[in-house]
């Protein structure tokens, strides 16, 4: 964080300091994007695995449970993105830990 001068707001990650509500939305959006990226890989891998197994394979029910849980997580990520978009903030590429620490 750096200060331009005494009369301008402090900068955070290249943007002006966020309010508490804006910070919550930014953290929600960053977390949702990270979660969504990982869930895309998980859901794709699980679907491919299910399709490659014969219907009676003992791992199939476990993979289907995993797929259902990952889809619930994807729904949660979507809800977080919807929540974060209410403020009109546009997401910028920034690490989640930077937002949380600052």
- pLDDT, position 17: 60
- pLDDT, position 30: 82
**Tens-of-pLDDT digits for all 102 residues of the chain?**
344 444 444 544 555 566 777 777 777 888 888 888 999 999 999 999 999 999 999 999 999 999 999 999 999 998 888 887 776 655 555 565 665 665
Q: What is the dihedral of CA 57, 62, 66, 69, to 10 degrees?
A: 130
Question: Helices 60-85 and 20-52: crossing angle, nearest 10°?
Answer: 160
Distance CA(93)–CA(79), nearest Å, equals 20
Q: Is the dihedral of CA 33, 73, 99, 96 positive or negative?
A: negative
- pLDDT, position 92: 55
pTM surpassing 0.75? no
Could you tell me the residue ranges of all domains in the chain?
A: 11-101
- pLDDT, position 26: 77
Nearest to 90 by CA among 10, 2, 15, 12: 15
């Amino acid at each position: 964080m750096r200060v331009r001068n005494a009369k301008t707001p402090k900068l955070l990650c290249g943007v002006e300091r966020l309010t508490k509500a804006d910070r919550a939305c930014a953290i929600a959006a960053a977390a949702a994007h990270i979660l969504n990226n990982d869930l895309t890989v998980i859901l794709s891998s699980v679907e491919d695995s299910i399709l490659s197994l014969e219907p009676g394979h003992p791992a199939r029910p476990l993979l289907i449970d995993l797929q259902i849980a990952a889809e619930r997580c994807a729904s949660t990520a979507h809800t977080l993105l919807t929540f974060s978009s209410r403020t009109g903030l546009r997401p910028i590429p920034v690490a989640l830990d930077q937002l949380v620490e600052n």
